[in-house]
Structures are given as structure tokens and as C-alpha cells.
Structure 1
Amino acid sequence: MKSSSLVPVLIPFAMLSLVLAVLTGLVRLGWGISVSETAGQHGALMVGSFLGTVILLERAVVFRNRRALLAPALNGLSLPMFLLGYPFVGLWLLVAGSMGMALMAYLFLVRYRQAYNYLLFGGSVCLVIGHVLVLKTGFYPLAVPWWIAFLLLTIVAERLELSRFLPIKPWQRLLLWGAAGLFVAGIVKPFHGFGQALMGIGMIAVAVWLIRFDMAVKSLRKAGQPRYSGTMLLLGYGWLMLSGLLFALPPVFPFAYDASLHTFFAGFVFSMIFAHAPIILPGVLGRQGLFYHPILYVGSIGQLLGLLVRVLGDWQGNIGWRMTGGLMQGVAVGVFLICMLPIALRSMAKGNSINKSALLKQVF
């Protein structure tokens, strides 16, 4: 079986993991949805089963070796294990998948010693550590900083990879490494204390660097998909800055921890997903064309508006606002997926195979 033939099989596992992660998140907010048995696995489903599988798929496709797809396959199989009530097995599968990601990142680093490959490897190691901590202790808050590190380092690496088309000066790269160093130092130190504040400062510094030196602002000058992606990127960098501020400051309102986490995961990370989906999906599926239509703004902006309502509810201690905002987020994510499906199918029907690097040059 060719590697490409496995990709359409694995993508539904990732999408179903996203749907279940959203539903379990709504249960945790107080909505009566009949997935309560898996509600305790909300973080593992979102970070591991969904985001981990999607990122692994992208890496495995670029790796051009069908054995590389074993890692996202193991990762994706965590979903049925969580659904069937075997969370321990599900977590073991996530550990195996994340170790596969770390191995692929290491092999890329050995072959291509660009700066972004160091970040990709570091991020994958953080994912392994986070999953192992949950497996050993069952205490999710211990894993959260490592999961944040995995996603932040991975996303910054993706942006650095794209920045090779821009004239980034050595001192500018040094600033980014300094910001990332602050962030990682906060992760390594005891988190609930000075480490958390240091991590937050590092997140703010990374956000400022991305706003100033990333190509997002340049993308706004173009029409269509580049403007859409640029808009989502800049909104995401804003959410990253707010999340860093919330982590850096002492908790001063009722649901500060919830606001800190979800401004990062639902604000920053999902903005990156919305921005990159039209670009990365063609590469993962091996098809030419942009998976874009202006209707994608509806789900993307709707999710961020829902997050804003939720964060305001966190700030005010208003349960009704938190539940309403969470529901808005869930519906908006569903709208985005429903809109993306026919766009992808139409583009796949028209397109041919394409090199990912050529596509990136085309859209940015």
C-alpha cells in the first residue's frame, strides 16, 4: 500500500478526535452532552489525538517513507481507546506516536541543520515528556506546560521555515532565540511559581517578534487566501501575547487558569490552524491547489468571538458567559469543518500532485 493511500484513512481519526475534544470541553463547561466518560481526557484528545495526529501526518508525508505513517496511525488509534474506556492504552499510543515524531524530527535535524529543525525536535521532545507525565501521574496540569512548549516551538519552527523567503537578519534571529530561551527556561523551572511567570514573559516576547518580523503583515497586502491567512496569523499572535500576560501575572480573577490555557490553545493555536489549513492540506493530500474560500472567515472569526465571550466570563466569574462562549466556539469549529470539506473535495478533484515548497512560495 502506498503511503499516500493511508492519509485519507488517518485524517478522519484526527477530525473525529477534534469533534470529541470539543464535545468533552463543552461537558467540562457544564453542558449536558453524553460523552461524560471521556470528559477527563479533554486535553489528551485535543493535544494528542487531534493536534498530534495532524502534525504527525504532515511530517510523515514530507518524510516520503510509508513506514513513517506508523507514527500517526498509532497516534490516531488513541481515539477509539479513549472512546472504549481504555485511557491507559490511549495514553500509551500517544506516547508511541510522539516518540515517532521525535525520531522523525531528529532524522530531519541530522540531515538538514536549519534553525527550525532544532525547534521542531525540541518541540517533539516536549510532547513526549508531556504524554509520559500524564501516563505516570494521571495529573494533567503537570503535562500542560510541556504541551504548550510542543505547540509553540512547532509553530515558531513552521514560521521560521517560511521566513527563509524573507531577509531575516542574524540579530533578528538572535532575538527570537532569546525569546524562545526565556520560554523554555520557564518550562524547565518549577512551573507554579517563578517558572510560570518566566514562561509567560517568553510567550510575550515570541509574540512581539512574530508580529514584527513574520510575513503575516506582508500577506495582508494581498487578496484572497494570503490576506485570510495573514489575518488569522496576526489575531493568533495577539492571543499568544494575551496568554503570556495571563501566565506572567498572578491569578487575580476567578477563572484565570482557564483563560490562560484557552487564550493559548483556542486563541493562538486554532488561529494557526485556520491560517495554515488551506496551505498544509494540499501538501498532506498530495494535491495541487488552494483549499480556500472566503466562507472560511465565518468559522474562524466565529470561534475567536466565542473565545472572547468565554474569556470575559472567566474574568467576571460569569458561568453563563463561559458556557455560551464555549458553545459558540464549538459551533464555529463545526462550521469551519463543514465549509472546508466541500472546498477540499472540489480542489482535490481539480488538482494534481504538487511539491509543498512550491506551494508555499506560491501562496506567500
Structure 2
Amino acid sequence: MSAPVSNFWGDLDPNTPTSFPEAPRPDDTWSLQGGSAWVYRAPGHQEIRRPVLLSDGFSSLPSSHNELYYGLEGAGTDYKFISALHKRGYDLILVGYEDRTKSIFDNAKTFTDALMTTIARREGNEPLTVGGFSMGGLITRYALAKMEVQKMDHQTALYLSYDTPHRGAWLPVGIQKLIPFILGDSRMLGLVSSPAAKQMLRWHSEQVQGEPAPHKDRADFLKELARMGDWPRRPRLIGVANGDGQGVGNGIKAGEVALSAEGDLSGTRLYTQPPGRNALVAELVMTDRDPIRIHTDTIPEMDGAPGGTLNNFGLVAALLKQLGAPATAHHPATCFVPSGSAVDLADFDLATSEADPFADLSKLPLERGGLDEFLCAPTSGPHTSMTPELGSWIVDRLPR
């Protein structure tokens, strides 16, 4: 499976050299307000023709065209998405951001700049395809909807989202509680507490104590998105999920130890999310401090749900080892974007009626969501990973 295009955690150490190889030089690079765009034209194109604009998502540090290119086309990629676009005569514009943790509203302005620049530099009048990976799908969804409200002609025929958390993303509560418990003011805490994370996560917590809940910033984002009509009206809307669509989970059982630590944190345990009231999700232990047990009351079984997975517990275990506390991730990767969220068809919050992270999406009416058409992966795999099934399905639906 290829490396993800968009990674929630990214590289938490800015001094660590990138693991991505040097990508081919773009045909053009645009400096935008708050970001950059990298243009890869199809062979024989001297100007932009049949443009496909794709937005980066949430992560630490600025966007990297190497990272984006490698995730779509690099060595080990199961499906060469850029080559497939070029073979059919489409030009690709990758849009990145100086700060991928900024508010969706802020980075939507950067994307709008990229879109208008594309229209200005395009040869002919062929329509645009616009979309994004992970949170990039929310950025572009909001940007297009706002442009329509403002009577701006975005000239977009097709919108696509790739494992986008339309109904929210999941970050284990145990991890959200462990970070302030042991790390205090840290880069990881800043990432989880960033504007974009607050808007994207279905449950959010910055404090050790207290029941996690949707952050006010998320409520404000959803309210503003609704004010813009929720979805753009002019383009055809499609989306894909890196998770199974028939309710088959990834095999992780609820209530199992996901991470255990030793050393000064000996006795610390994080658990995969159990459903129901008084569900134990973490036991936080540190030398010379009183242990804390964390419970939740309103969150369903999430870590084993069908959806795009992320190496959350694995990364936290690696970070603890760096801090001198040996740790083992028993379940390194768990669900991050439930399939029902990625295709905007099913909720996973128990406070919402008919919510079920294990819903068989094939049995739900399409009108429950905002997309005109969607595709789920055969089995749950890494979040935003490019696969032959998902990539070729998208390419076959691009404007002719």
C-alpha cells in the first residue's frame, strides 16, 4: 500500500529530514496567499488544459510537493494516479498550504486563489475538476460553496473528495488525554489543539479531565458551511472512502489494550474505544503523581470501525520511546475517518439518531448524504492511500 498523501500527525520534529524522495520538478510553481500550487502538465501541453485541482489536507509543517507527488505517483504506489491523468490529457495542479493546521476558512482562501489563477492561465474553456484529500475535501467543498454564494464563477464541473471527514474524524480519546498528561506544552499538543483539528474531530479534548465533546469551532464551521448551502450546487459531487462500505470493520475489538508504557509511565494503558457508559479508555500513570482513569459515556466503538486507518497509537508509542518511556503499540493503526463520514452517508455519534459506525452503506439511500455518487474500498486501508480501485474509478468520472 502506498504512503498516504495526507497524514494527521505528519513529522512532529521539524529537524527530521523528509523520508520522501525528490519529486520531478513541476512545470510551474505558483506562489499563493498562504500557500503554493505545483503544476504538472500532461506531455505535449504548453499551457494548462483540462485542469484537475487537488488540495492537501491536515498535517504538521507546511505542505510539500514531494510528499504530495510521492503519495500519488511515487515508488511503491499501487496506482500511478498522475500518469493516469496525463494519459487522458488532464493537467494536475496540487495545492498546498504554509500552515496545514490553520482554520479551514483560512486555507479555503488560499485554494480560491489557486482556482482563480488556474482559470486565468487555462488555455480554452474546458471545465475544472476540484477536490482534495482528507481535510482538503472540506477546504474545497467550502471554497466552492462560498464562491457560489458570492456569485463567483468557479467553472467547476466535478467535485471529488478522497477519504474526507465530511461528518468528522476520530482520534482516540486516550491519546487526546495522554498528550496533556505527560507532554504539557508540546508540538503534538499544539497539533491536536489547532484550529483545523478542532473543526475536523468529532470529539475533542485539550484537558486531562472532562468528557470529550465536539469543539465550539466545529459547531461554528458546520454552521458557516450550512450558511453557504452545505455543498456547491453546480458541480457533480463524488467521493471515495478508504474504508469498507458494507459494515465490515478492520478486526480490532473494543476494550483491548492499544498501547502500554513502562519506565516512568509504567502502568499507563490506552484502550481501544468501548461503547456504552463508564467505558474505560485510559489509565494514566506517572511516577510521583496520582494515577488517573479516563472513562467516556457517549462514544460508540470506533477504533475497529470500517474506515481509513491512521497509525495513531504507533506514532504515540514511538514518541514515548524518544522521551525515555518504553512503550508498545498493540494496535498501531485504527480507524480515523469512518466510511460513513467519508461518503457523507452515516453518522457515528450516539447523540445523533440512526448513528452507526458499522452501518452497511450499500443499504442506505443516497439522498441521506450530499454526494451524487461514491465508492468505498474493498477493505479498510491507510487513510488517503491511492489504490487502483479508487483511483481508476475517479479517473473514469472526470469531465470528458
Normalising by the smaller structure, the TM-score range is: under 0.3
The TM-score, its normalising length taken from structure 2, stands at 0.25
Q: Please state which structure has a larger fraction of its residues in strand.
A: 2
Report which of the two has the higher share of helix: 1
Structure of greater relative contact order (alpha carbons < 8 Å, 6+ residues apart): 2
TM-score, length-scaled by structure 1: 0.27
